[in-house]
Amino acid sequence: MHISEGVLSPPVLITGAALTGVGLVLGLKTLKAEKIPEVAVLSSTFFVASLIHIPIGPSSAHLVLNGLVGLLLGWSAFPAIFLGLLLQALIFQFGGLTTLGVNTFAMAFPPVVLSYILRRFLKKDKYSLTFTVSFLVGFLSIIFSAILIGIALYFTEKSFTPVIITLLGAHFPIAIVEGFITSFIMLYLLKVKPEVVL
């Protein structure tokens, strides 16, 4: 779901960078010292999950696991995802440095918002509810992230509309897979280390 270098217009790039800047400030402000190892682990998870790319025009489809990162970290998902994307841009040339703001905001903002809306429904003794909520966060995080990437492309050039439709269609099955992965991981964590979740 990375947007490559040289695709987006300067106003879109500046807006994305500004929004990500706000997210990073909030994420770092709320980050507690004892959560730093967890942020590092989840940033690594995000980094590895995003390595297998299927090109779709100026973007790509791949596992993201941003819903899981958002559920476990809240606003701290911004620095975790930012770091993962930065390393991917520097090491593998996925995405890019100029698009880092747009890509980070698109992948971090939806799971953070969904986490704050739905996290309260995660219960240790209600596995079916936890599974459903986790699935929704994993699924909707991908869908809304794809929509935000589509918006960035649309406001750059309206001729990207066919690519946007293809991008959304390609991410629907990925969103389903992400929903199940997020649900199973959250259930596992609730059983073995509930303090990470609750």
Kindly report, residue by residue over 27-81, the tens digit of the pLDDT.
Answer: 999 999 889 999 999 999 888 887 766 666 666 667 889 999 999 999 999 999 9
> Where do the H-state alpha helices sit in 6-126?
10-30, 36-49, 66-73, 77-92, 100-118
Q: Which amino acid is at 98?
A: T
Q: For the chain, how many helices (H) and strands (E)?
A: 8, 2
For 85-139, what is each residue's pLDDT tens digit? 999 899 988 888 999 999 999 999 999 999 999 999 988 888 899 999 999 999 9
- Residue ranges of domains in the chain, CATH in brackets: 10-197 (1.10.1760.20)
pTM: 0.91
- The answer to whether the beta carbons of residues 97 and 89 sit under 8 Å apart is yes
Statement: residue 15 has pLDDT above 80: yes
Residue (of 11, 93, 21) closest to 60 by Cα position: 93
Residue (of 25, 137, 42) closest to 81 by Cα position: 42
- The answer to whether the beta carbons of residues 61 and 171 sit under 8 Å apart is yes
Lookup: tokens for 57: 């025009």
Lookup: tokens for 100: 């880092």
Lookup: tokens for 114: 């969904």
For 2-11, what is each residue's pLDDT tens digit? 788 889 999 9
Tell me phi and psi for residue 55, to 5 degrees. -60, 135
- The answer to whether the beta carbons of residues 62 and 107 sit under 8 Å apart is no
Phi-psi region of 95 (alpha: psi -120 to 50; beta: other; left: phi over 0): left
